[in-house]
Amino acid sequence: MRDGNSERNQLPGRPYDAILDSIADGVFTVSADWEITYLNRAGENITGVPRDEAVGRRCSEVLRASVCEENCPLRETIETGRPVVNRTVYIVNADGERVPVSISSAVLRDEEGNFAGGVETFRDLSLVEELRRELEGRRELGDIVSRSGKMERIFEILPRVAESESTVCVRGESGTGKELLARAIHSLSPRSEGPFVAVSCAALPENLLESELFGHVAGAFTDARSDRAGRFEAARGGTIFLDEIGDVPPSLQVRLLRVLQEFSYEPLGSNETVDADVRVVTATNRDLDELVEEGTFRRDLYYRINVVSLTLPPLRERKEDIPLLVDHFINRFNRRRAASVEGVSDAAMAALEAHGYPGNVRELENAVEHAFVLCRGGLIEPEHLPASIAEKARGAAPLASAPATLEEMEKALISRALRRHEGNKTKAAEQLGIHKSTLYRKLDRYGISG
């Protein structure tokens, strides 16, 4: 005897369940009150929701699509009688990940021709989206996401840098992702199975930093009651990341130099030499060349840590990456918080793109996290963003100034879409929801150069 859910999962009079379960597209049907009455196997896989849990729930609760509230294709089909074919939208799966899908819908009628509900098919476009990203020049490595030309060189040489044992110095302002780059180097290196140990050289006073790095033996100083291994030992076989290397005091610079020259060290208070089987990656937001000239940073140590130098540009110099990073953070926070935020509205994205980001990528991540606190689902709006970002954008955005005619608003929207997509008219037209030929006519009309 089958349970109630199993009974409801079978469409009355339909002998084709095995066929529907064999196709790659998701298929679901809804009753007149929008409750799911059937979901095939592909639909389970794409949404991450088992069919027994989906049946009986409203379709908006299962798909959590970007169009469920206002532009539902199925509702449009039912109201107009015209099917929707291959409309691209995003759904949020059970893991909180945004999945691009192509949706088609049609009306279901009973044997007498009366309205009985609707059917919707949806195709997972994740692979297509991935190929599109590659064609657009998008690069992604762990938490590093970019399409910026300034990041292209780093992505190109990173595998070769990682394969070597050479010391690397990562430069960049605070919040640009120096530790993320160091972790990427480690993950691509032959030492990837070993530990990755990060140390902030600016976070510890001089008298503790030496013990923290190299360890100590009992009696080395007043509170040293037992032997303690340092971070270099903890990183054995892997990578040690020395952040804020420019803040290391001169007395400790000598010891670091010996480690890089001889690959060995002595724990504090010990005469026993320990092999340093580690890869060293350093980082700084200070100008090391200037510190060398001032005499506060040893020139010989500078040459040792600067065998390979990688400079991360600030976010204000790679603003084309903001939409990519926002999507990346939304997917992450959706997973962590079991949330269903679908994306960012045009107004909110304009606010995010207008900000200067003195805190760089870390500040952008914090802004998205702030939005998740206030946004319960759907799209992130300007009011969900930190006031410092939303207010500055309101003062600068063309659409915020009043009065404005419809033509002025349309011109501003077209200009912003072109900027966001770096002049790509096809993508701008898709974002605006108009045909490319329509966009060309409006460009001529408003005298906008593309």
Among 122-131, 132-141, 182-191, 283-292, where is mean pLDDT lowest?
132-141
Per-residue confidence (pLDDT) for residue 320, from 0 to 100? 87
Would you say residue 314 has pLDDT above 60?
yes
Looking at per-residue confidence, does 394 or 128 come out higher? 128
Q: Chain-centre distance of CA 301, in angstroms?
A: 36
Per-residue confidence (pLDDT) for residue 101, from 0 to 100? 87
On whether both 284 and 421 belong to a single domain, the answer is no
Domain count, the chain: 3
Percent above pLDDT 90 for the chain: 35
Per-residue confidence (pLDDT) for residue 137, from 0 to 100? 52
- Classify each residue of 83-118 as buried b or exposed e, where b means 16 or more C-beta atoms within 10 Å of its C-beta: ebeeeebbbbbeebbbbbbbbbbbbbeeeeeeebbb
Please write the tens of the pLDDT for every residue from 385-431: 999 898 755 554 443 333 345 566 677 778 777 776 667 788 777 76
Would you say residue 205 has pLDDT above 90?
no
Per-residue confidence (pLDDT) for residue 378, from 0 to 100? 78
Per-residue confidence (pLDDT) for residue 23, from 0 to 100? 84
pLDDT mean across residues, the chain: 82
On whether both 54 and 195 belong to a single domain, the answer is no
Q: Is residue 131 part of a domain?
A: no
Q: Is residue 371 part of a domain?
A: yes
Ranges of H-type helices in 243-383: 250-262, 288-294, 299-305, 322-337, 346-354, 360-374
Domain that holds residue 173: 137-313
On whether both 251 and 371 belong to a single domain, the answer is no
Percent above pLDDT 70 for the chain: 85
Q: Is residue 353 part of a domain?
A: yes
Per-residue confidence (pLDDT) for residue 211, from 0 to 100? 85
How much is the average pLDDT of 302-316?
95
Instruction: Catalogue the E-assigned strands of 42-160.
Output: 84-92, 98-109, 115-124, 139-141, 144-146
On whether both 377 and 307 belong to a single domain, the answer is no
Q: Which of 126, 152, 170 is the last residue of a domain?
A: 126
CA distances 232 to 105, 270, 271, Å, are: 60, 15, 17
Would you say residue 141 has pLDDT above 70?
yes
Per-residue confidence (pLDDT) for residue 343, from 0 to 100? 84
Q: Is residue 78 part of a domain?
A: yes
On whether both 243 and 226 belong to a single domain, the answer is yes
Neighbour-count burial of 47, counting CB atoms closer than 10 A to its CB (0-12 exposed, 13-18 middle, 19+ buried): buried
Would you say residue 1 has pLDDT above 50?
no
Strands 378-380 and 341-344: parallel
Give the CATH number for residue 235.
3.40.50.300
Please write the tens of the pLDDT for every residue from 324-381: 899 889 988 888 887 778 788 888 888 998 899 999 999 999 999 999 999 877 789 8
Would you say residue 233 has pLDDT above 80?
yes
If we measure between CA atoms, which residue out of 324, 325, 377, 339 comes closest to residue 96?
339
Per-residue confidence (pLDDT) for residue 439, from 0 to 100? 81
Would you say residue 4 has pLDDT above 50?
no
On whether both 289 and 393 belong to a single domain, the answer is no
On whether both 171 and 275 belong to a single domain, the answer is yes
Between CA 87 and CA 91 the distance in angstroms is: 12
- The structure tokens listed for 312 are 């991360």
Give the CATH number for residue 393.
1.10.8.60
Would you say residue 242 has pLDDT above 80?
yes
Q: Which of 126, 159, 188 is the last residue of a domain?
A: 126
Per-residue confidence (pLDDT) for residue 436, from 0 to 100? 77
